Structure 1
Amino acid sequence: MPVRAGHGWWASHAQSPTVLALSPRLWRIYFAGRNSDNRSSILAVDVDPQDGMRVLDEHLDPMLGWGPPGTFDCSGLAPSCALMVGGCVHLYYSGVYPRNDVSFQIAIGLAISDDGLSFKKAFAGPVRGIGPTDPYFVSTPFVGTTEYGYRMWYVSGTGWAQTNGVWEPEYVLRSCDSSDAIVWEAHSIAVPSDDLGDGISQTRPWITHEAGGMRLWYSRRGRDFRASGNEAYRLFSRRMDAREGTVGEAEPVIFSNPPAAGEFDSSMQAYCCVMQRPSGDVMFYNGNGFGEAGIGWATRDLT
């Protein structure tokens, strides 16, 4: 799905694709579009997954307003997970607000809708912000059901490091639980991983279910990721155990038709959202420039 620059206030990017399956032939893709001041809001398109992701409808007016000055989402919004809870759509999003010392601060917000289009924030503040185990920022949550209620996998900032004279964030994946998908426990636990070396960060978790357990999908990058070399954003997955965390090795996502020079994802593949259907998985993701060119999708035939 390419960016339609110049459409209203939407000037660039289609970042962080977040899919909600409304029916077998109707998937709604929420995403973050930016205006000319580089501030993002949440938009959506409806597609038919059984007809080559043919666009059925577009919802290109912001679905949620920025917060007033001083709030956690006063400078931008980006979707990360949408699910049905009690007949309503719960949309979890990253809210951005500026800082003077580093580029930004991020916290996790929740908006609720009866129809998946008209949203109202659950609270004026975030449902998860900085705290004892999350001292810097939190972002890009995935929320799923468990036998105990709900679990959130999310990104937790571990600090900022200077790379080529620029302060860049570093982060890991953590998780926490809730009984109602609204109020979350203050405590959180680290998602075990053996691919976190010096300067390595992981972001945008997504969970799918498969025979024998779950699978965690995520993006991994090094400290010098803007150089578009070996430390650039790449996609990985790991088998997971619901109670004990990750148990499998990190598996890189391999494309049968690898990104080539000049293509929209030649130097970056990140922020994936993986949907499951009887014929196989569909992965939506962003390419170069954090979704500057739009959203791509790839399939995995399970047969």
Structure 2
Amino acid sequence: MPDYKWTRKGLLLPVKAGHQWWASHAQSPTVLALSSRLWRIYFAGRDAGNLSSMMAVDVDPLDGMRILAEHLDAIMVPGPPGTFDSSGLGPSCALIIGGRIHLYYSGIYPRLDVRTQLAIGLAISDDGLTFERISPGPVRGIGPKDPYFVSTPFVSAIEGGYRMWYTSGTGWMDVDGSREPVYGIRSCISEDGILWETGSSLCLHEDADEGASLTRPWVTQGDDGMRLWYSRRGKQFRNGGNEAYRLFSRRINARGDIVGEAEPVIFSNSPVAGDFDSWMQAYGCVMQCASGEVMFYNGNGFGQDGIGWATRDLR
């Protein structure tokens, strides 16, 4: 197995409670490279009522991720009652299509039988800070291949269109008296990045009977080819230990198939008790830089303390 050890750098963006839209958490870091000296990191922050809105910070990747600007007035807020994102939203992938920024996100709305329902939305911007939903509804919701929920999409250009890797719910499981979702990763195709095929293909899953779940796909293209990064957790993930969320990657071949064994993200300076990521590392976002790769991720409690980062030198 290749040496995939990373060096933890700590919290890049700690939670700065006290803002109207931000009382806790900085979840699902999503990076868009606007230039060699400007990366915009979108994330979801929760208000005092636990509703998630979208915010951003700008960093300079060539100056130790120095924060250049903070955009802490919500860029996007939950939709009106009855919509698929009425109970919160969080970013998952941003890319430029036709000169405009397309931001794919997860929308949350309540249910009576389980905690929440999730679907995938799309908003478009000319400046990366003022977004408009393309429609009141999602660009991908539940369907024949996705009967429970869909979320955390990653979209990239392919020949003749676009491909989306996303989390697909496979059921809900009773765990210590509470219902917990079970999910894997699927993929679908679009010609324009807006209208997606009804069907999809299964990319990655584990034995649902054991409660293992995989989420937040992120795809990179490096010297060793394409790679899918994702988070895995077990049935008893809330108890920590080996069942807690951890980060992994798998290789992708030229046909887009997942190949090879799962490779865990290993830190050269492993977290210890008291660290923000002592028992949980999840929702990784991996970017290429001059010397190697940079990963932004969440630690304990789904980013309750903020956004962490790590580096891997490939020279």
Q: Which residue of 1 aligns with 2:139?
A: 127
Q: Which has the higher strand share?
A: 2
Q: Which residue of 2 aligns with 1:219?
A: 231
Segments of 5+ residues of structure 1 without an aligned counterpart are none
For the residues of structure 1 that align with 2:232 and 2:52, how far apart are their CA atoms? Answer: 23
**1:149 Cα deviation (Å)?**
1.3
**1:146 Cα deviation (Å)?**
1.0
For the residues of structure 2 that align with 1:216 and 1:8, how far apart are their CA atoms? Answer: 36
Q: In the TM superposition, what whole-angstrom CA distance separates every residue of 1:178-208 from its partner, at most 9, and x where no partner exists?
A: 1111111011000045687721100000000
What residue identity is the alignment partner of 2:182? E
Q: Which residue of 2 aligns with 1:271?
A: 283
Q: Which residue of 2 aligns with 1:245?
A: 257
Q: Which residue of 1 aligns with 2:159?
A: 147
Segments of 5+ residues of structure 2 without an aligned counterpart are 1-12
| TM-score normalised per structure 2 | 0.94
For the residues of structure 1 that align with 2:207 and 2:296, how far apart are their CA atoms? Answer: 23
What residue identity is the alignment partner of 1:100? L
Could you tell which deviates more after superposition, 88-97 or 59-68?
59-68
SS in 2 for 1:230: helix
Within-5 A mapping of 1:74-93: 74-93=86-105
How many pairs are equivalent?
303
For the residues of structure 2 that align with 1:288 and 1:109, how far apart are their CA atoms? Answer: 26
Query: Is residue 195–residue 250 contact of structure 1 (8 Å, CA) maintained in 2?
Result: no
Within-5 A mapping of 1:156-171: 156-171=168-183
For the residues of structure 2 that align with 1:124 and 1:209, how far apart are their CA atoms? Answer: 33
SS in 2 for 1:271: strand
Query: Equivalent of 1:64, from 60, 76, 98?
Result: 76
State the percentage of identical aligned residues. Answer: 70
Q: In the TM superposition, what whole-angstrom CA distance separates every residue of 1:106-140 from its partner, at most 9, and x where no partner exists?
A: 00000000000000001110000000000000000
For the residues of structure 2 that align with 1:166 and 1:195, how far apart are their CA atoms? Answer: 20
For the residues of structure 2 that align with 1:26 and 1:212, how far apart are their CA atoms? Answer: 26
The question of 1:109 aligning with 2:121 is answered yes
* Structure 1 residues 193 and 242, CA gap change in structure 2 (3 angstroms): farther
For the residues of structure 2 that align with 1:292 and 1:200, how far apart are their CA atoms? Answer: 23
Q: Which residue of 2 aligns with 1:2?
A: 14
**1:62 Cα deviation (Å)?**
1.1
* Structure 1 residues 185 and 242, CA gap change in structure 2 (3 angstroms): farther
Q: Which residue of 2 aligns with 1:181?
A: 193
Could you tell which deviates more after superposition, 111-120 or 240-249?
240-249
Q: Which residue of 1 aligns with 2:273?
A: 261
For the residues of structure 1 that align with 2:35 and 2:197, how far apart are their CA atoms? Answer: 32
Could you tell which deviates more after superposition, 33-42 or 185-194?
185-194
**1:211 Cα deviation (Å)?**
3.0
For the residues of structure 1 that align with 2:208 and 2:159, how far apart are their CA atoms? Answer: 29
**1:61 Cα deviation (Å)?**
1.0
Query: Equivalent of 1:31, from 7, 31, 43?
Result: 43
For the residues of structure 2 that align with 1:182 and 1:255, how far apart are their CA atoms? Answer: 37
What residue identity is the alignment partner of 2:20? G
Q: Which residue of 1 aligns with 2:292?
A: 280
**1:148 Cα deviation (Å)?**
2.6
Q: Which residue of 1 aligns with 2:4?
A: none
The question of 1:118 aligning with 2:100 is answered no
* Structure 1 residues 196 and 256, CA gap change in structure 2 (3 angstroms): farther
**1:7 Cα deviation (Å)?**
2.2
Query: Equivalent of 1:233, from 242, 245, 249?
Result: 245
Query: Is residue 3–residue 12 contact of structure 1 (8 Å, CA) maintained in 2?
Result: yes
* Structure 1 residues 277 and 226, CA gap change in structure 2 (3 angstroms): same
What residue identity is the alignment partner of 2:51? R
Query: Equivalent of 2:31, from 1, 4, 19?
Result: 19
The question of 1:97 aligning with 2:128 is answered no
What residue identity is the alignment partner of 1:169? P
For the residues of structure 2 that align with 1:251 and 1:196, how far apart are their CA atoms? Answer: 20
